[in-house]
A and B are shown apart, each in its own frame.
Chain A
Amino acid sequence: MTAITNDREFRAALDTLDAAQQRVIAAAFVRNVLHLCTDERIARVLEITENRDASTSALDDALKTARATTIDCHTRCGSEGDWLAQAGYFVARAAVAALTPLGQMPGGVAWQAAMSARMAQTSKSIVTGDDMAGQESETQYRLLAGILNT
């Protein structure tokens, strides 16, 4: 029974996963924060990411859509930031990470998806004052342990 209690163990465990497994767990991280993104494109992209039978071209198209959403959701330089909207930007970035081919995402696909998902919660917490980012990492540990234990 694998238990993950900190980020060092978390990252080490992620590094043992192959490309398909990385995508599965990255998609799970995105799913957990999807409610923070109001752009419907990310929900559709996530469905494709989660589909183990998705074709290469469908995944490529999904990645392009996720990237386009990221651009549309970012806070432009010099404009007034809205941290709740920014949470959606980080969810979109997590989706981009989940779809990026292995080896092309600094730090790893699933790790980056996890970090962006936490950033989404951090962005929300800047407005609401809660500490959901801390809870998000615990949830991610459980999600990964669950996959490793099946």
Chain B
Amino acid sequence: MSASFEKGINTFKEQIDAPVATFFSSCVHCGMCAEACPFYTETGDPSRTPITKVEPLRRIWKQEYTLLGRLGKLFGLGKSVTDEMLTEWETLVYDSCTLCGRCSMICPVGNDITYMIRKTREGMALSGHAPEGLIGATTRAITIGSPMGVKLPALEAQIRHVEKELGYTVPVDVEGADYLQLLSSMEIMNFPEFISAIARIFQHAGVSWTISSKAFEATNSGIQIGVSEIAAELVERVVKAATELKVKYVISPECGHAYTAIRWEGPNLIGRPFDFKVVHILELLDELRSAGRLQTSGKESRRLTYHDPCQIARRGGVVQQPRNLLNEVAANFVEMPDAGAMNWCCGAGGGVSANERADELRLKAFKRKKQQLEEVQPEALVSACSNCRIQLEDGLEENEMDISVLSLTEIIAEHLLDRKQQEGQQP
């Protein structure tokens, strides 16, 4: 038995808490989770059903924590977890699951299967069975501060570009600001217009905000790969920056898992409550709208629909806010079937997009999103996650669907009411 395998097995054992034991005990083997998962529905491969993915964890639970399992182990009966098994399961646990949570919603006995897959990843990672792409991203997150290797000078260059465009300063390291805005590396690298959008919106609404030069990264590779110690370290960096800057709120940007990491897992990971509140950017924008601080003009005439990022809607509960915001700027909005909490995943979350080996599979999973889109035939697809955005663009391109993909925050920024112009027009 290799040292890493032994470490992995011990980690699996540590993952079995009361909820996990209850979930395994209460599974009725109905198979309903299968039909909730796009990696099963779009491949028809029975090994890709959600409950199959947690089989290593189930075997350890059975052998270590049930009477029958212990007896079986004593007499050499029952199936043990082997290194070969974990090798086989690596593609199921990482390539075939985005941690989207749809299986957990559908389970008739209320088992949070996603929670179990997340815990299975802990054992997989420590036994040396995690994808190269995620290992690289996690290593960079720890050593550089960004899974994509984005360093402060790069962010500063993007900020200078935005400042030149807008003609005013983007606040960095402003002590006592109300809000600390986090950014994902995807936004800094691929969609820097998001920085411009939030700067314009906050200027318009009079929001006191800042970016931290010490902890600007929102994403958390530790969550995706399944190493809680690393996830906790990344959360601590944000907490330290927020505390030093004395902010009241931390804003999670248009990134799905970042929101889960900082808002829902964050305090548990570091073992104490935050001294600040965490809000998703869409929650804040909707609050500003509701308070009359965010005023828009004009509407998009194109037929728009909205893709709910799983971690923001299903796992995070931010469902109504994007619709309130879209109502302000979309004249022709249409809902996809299963929209909201039961929306279908784009196919690229949970580290799948960082895993090149999973490319074919993630585009297969996208076929379910394609079906949803075909039912409503939109001209443009709005979302609020940079990772979803790239996957949606990729899937649409792959399937030759002529639909534009837009960021909700950026649309709001484009429709901000020009108050100076409005005042000039008043009699």
Contact = CB atoms under 8 A, between A and B. Distances in A.
Nearest to B406: A106
Contacts of B149: 80-81
A57 B91 CA distance: 42
A67 B398 CA distance: 11
Contacts of A89: 190
Contact of B140 (A7, A74, A80): A80
Contact of A137 (B164, B224, B351): B164
- The A interface is mostly helix, strand or loop, or mixed, namely helix
B258 to A, nearest CB: 11
B137 interface: yes
A103 B380 CA distance: 12
A79 B136 CA distance: 7
A101 to B, nearest CB: 10
Contact of A79 (B133, B400, B410): B133
Contacts of A80: 136, 140, 148-149
Interface in A3-30: 6-8
Interface in B165-187: 165, 167, 185-186
Interface residues of B, number: 49
A82 to B, nearest CB: 9
B156 to A, nearest CB: 9
Contact of B164 (A7, A68, A100, A106): A7
Interface string A103-138: 110110000000100110010011000000110010
Interface in A49-72: 64, 67-68, 70-71
A85 B137 CA distance: 18
Contact of B161 (A86, A100, A103, A133): A133
B128 interface: no
B157 interface: yes
B157 A122 contact: yes
Contacts of B402: 64
Interface in B221-267: 221, 224
6 contacts: A8-B167, A67-B393, A76-B356, A77-B353, A78-B351, A118-B161
Interface of B: 133-134, 136-137, 140, 147-150, 153-154, 157-158, 160-161, 164-165, 167, 185-186, 189-190, 192-193, 221, 224, 301-302, 348, 351, 353-356, 379-380, 386-387, 390, 393-394, 397, 400, 402, 404, 406, 410-411, 414
Nearest first, the 7 closest Cβ-Cβ pairs linking A and B are A78-B354, A78-B137, A106-B414, A77-B353, A81-B148, A80-B149, A122-B161
